[in-house]
Amino acid sequence: MARRTSSYVCQACGAVSGRWAGRCESCGEWNTIVEEADGGIAAGPGRRPQKGRVVELVPLDGDTDEAPRIVSGIAELDRVTGGGFVTGSVLLVGGDPGIGKSTLLLQAAAAVAIAGHRVVYVSGEEAVAQVRLRAERLALAAAPVALATETSVEDVLATLAAGPPPALVIIDSVQTLWTESVDSAPGTVTQLRASAQLMVRYAKASGAAIVLVGHVTKDGQIAGPRVVEHLVDAVLYFEGDSGHQFRILRAVKNRFGPTDEIGVFEMTGAGLAEIANPSELFLGDRDAASPGAAVFAGIEGTRPLLVEIQALVTPSPLGTPRRAVIGWDPGRLAMVVAVLQARCGVRFADHDIYLNIAGGLKIGEPAADLAVAAALVSSLTGITLPADTVYFGEISLSGAIRPVPQANARLKEAAKLGFARAVAPRAVADEAGAGAVTGLDSLADLVARIAAGTTE
């Protein structure tokens, strides 16, 4: 008889090792390693190795059909998925508990069902009554969505096979699924992987679009991230902070569409409302009269987005001054501060720095460097920046201002929202011609202009 083997799997990162340890060597988490019996779906006990079948090899070019999509009609969601749910694909939607994943997906389910497709919503977390209450609150109780509360993959698949073939299946959440095909306890990485694999197989075989909801851990990753993320066709994150009304849906992986698009929603008393013009929202309650605020003309995906960057620079009582950053990369802030010190003689060594992206947005673009530098210098000197000016440009370690992509889209959005001037890399000003754009060669240029109180 074959010896039963088991391996030790970290429940945080999915790393597998041959022995138990108190701390995972891969991710450094403590007490996350659990013994799991070996044997995924393919290698279950009693399976005989099968003889391989010869598959057809084809050239790279040839006729391909554009994957058919199910449009949800929620424009912000369709934008992020790349034009709707792709039939036969699996989409993972991750996010913190309470951020609004179930709300978003119930709204999407209802919209697709109302459009005439069969939609099955499987809730493993909430009772039927809770889902019904939410539907009522969203005024969607009349939508023909088929609802079930179930956590066993076998039962879910049997249910789906018994009824008419669904076009869209929503599983809320993937962490509650468990399958009999593996021995591990429900909730373990092995269970998660096996369950997700079975759902992926079902999607490919049936042509249904499947949405898996996943909770994220405190450090922002879907629990057992590597094991599920690579199995699915697309991964979207639903972010936002519970203190703010708006939520951002962001694609981090998409086999059928762009990965840099965002969708913006606002959580209202009656569910998630789409925000078609996010710049207006992010600039909503701007206090342009105080120093330390600079408006950044950014790009999210294909969409220009204006946001306010706020800096507060205060004398520090500490030996090692504080640097607190919300919504931006702390490493990049350190770089901008270092360049300001080394190339422009602006010293922050005795000051605490607080940097905040207004509205809870997270910015990843290097183009925000210039706006951050402007906000920092403004706060340090107490000189208010002109209220009608936007900033964008990447700062290099030499202190030069480097060009950034899509300058025209940024300028257009700024003009649309009533900003008369832009401070940008030199190349942008040259292209735009004389007038509204101030071109900068170096960061020292920016500092001099702020000190002189002019952007001309």
Return the number of the residue (102 or 179) whose C-beta is nearest Mg ion: 102
The reply to whether 137 sits near ligand TYD by the rule CB under 6 A is: yes
Stretch that binds ligand TYD, among 96-104, 223-231, 336-344, 401-409 (CB under 6 A): 96-104
Residue whose C-alpha is closest to residue 297's, from 287, 311, 308: 308
Decide if residue 243 touches ligand TYD (CB under 6 A): no
CB of 239 to ligand TYD, least distance (A): 11
Is 101 among the residues that bind ligand TYD (CB under 6 A)? yes
332 binds, among Mg ion, ligand TYD, none (CB under 5 to 8 A by kind): none
Q: Which residue has the tokens 């094991």?
A: 227
Long-range CB contacts (within 8 A, 24+) of 184-189: 184/36, 184/37, 186/151, 188/9, 188/11, 188/34, 188/36, 189/9, 189/10, 189/11, 189/14, 189/36, 189/224, 189/227
Which one, 79 or 101, has the nearer CB to ligand TYD?
Answer: 101
What are 34's strand-pairing partners? 9
Instruction: State the binding string over 272-311 for ligand TYD (x if CB under 6 A, else -).
Output: ----------------------------------------
Residue whose entry in the numeric block shows the structure tokens 């649309």: 416
Contacting ligand TYD (CB under 6 A), which of 40, 44, 45, 98?
Answer: 98
Of 211 and 313, which CB lies nearer to ligand TYD in the complex structure?
A: 211
The burial of 213, by beta-carbon neighbours within 10 Å (0-12 exposed, 13-18 middle, 19 or more buried), is given as buried
Amino acid code (one letter) for 377 = V
Distance in Å, CB of 263 to ligand TYD, minimum: 15
**CA 7/CA 40 separation, integer angstroms:** 12
Using CB under 6 A, pick the residue from 11, 72, 81, 103 that binds ligand TYD.
Answer: 103
Residue 92 interacts with ligand TYD (CB under 6 A): yes or no: no
Run of H or E residues at 195: helix 189-206
22 binds ligand TYD (CB under 6 A): no
| Among 69, 117, 134, 426, contact with ligand TYD (rule: CB under 6 A) | 134
End-to-end CA distance of the chain: 84
Interface residues toward Mg ion, by CB under 5 A: 102
The count of chain residues that interact with ligand TYD, using the rule CB under 6 A, is 15
Phi, psi dihedrals of residue 412, rounded to the nearest 5°:
-65, -45
Stretch that binds ligand TYD, among 8-16, 133-141, 251-259, 362-370 (CB under 6 A): 133-141
CA distance 34 to 248: 34
To ligand TYD, the closest distance from the beta carbon of 442 in angstroms equals: 46
Show Cβ contacts of residue 204 under 8 Å, excluding neighbours closer than 6 positions.
88
Length of the chain: 456
- Binding mask 354-373 toward ligand TYD (x if CB under 6 A, else -) reads --------------------
The answer to whether 176 contacts ligand TYD (rule: CB under 6 A) is no
Q: How far is the CB of 86 from ligand TYD (least distance, A)?
A: 23
270 lines the binding site for ligand TYD (CB under 6 A): yes
Is 94 a binding residue for ligand TYD by CB under 6 A? The answer is no
How, if at all, do strands 351-357 and 389-391 pair? unpaired
Distance CA 203, CA 89 (A): 6
Q: Does residue 267 belong to the site contacting ligand TYD (CB under 6 A)?
A: yes
Phi and psi dihedrals of 160, rounded to 5?
Answer: -65, -35
In the complex, the residues that contact ligand TYD under the rule CB under 6 A are 95, 97-103, 134, 137-138, 267, 269-271
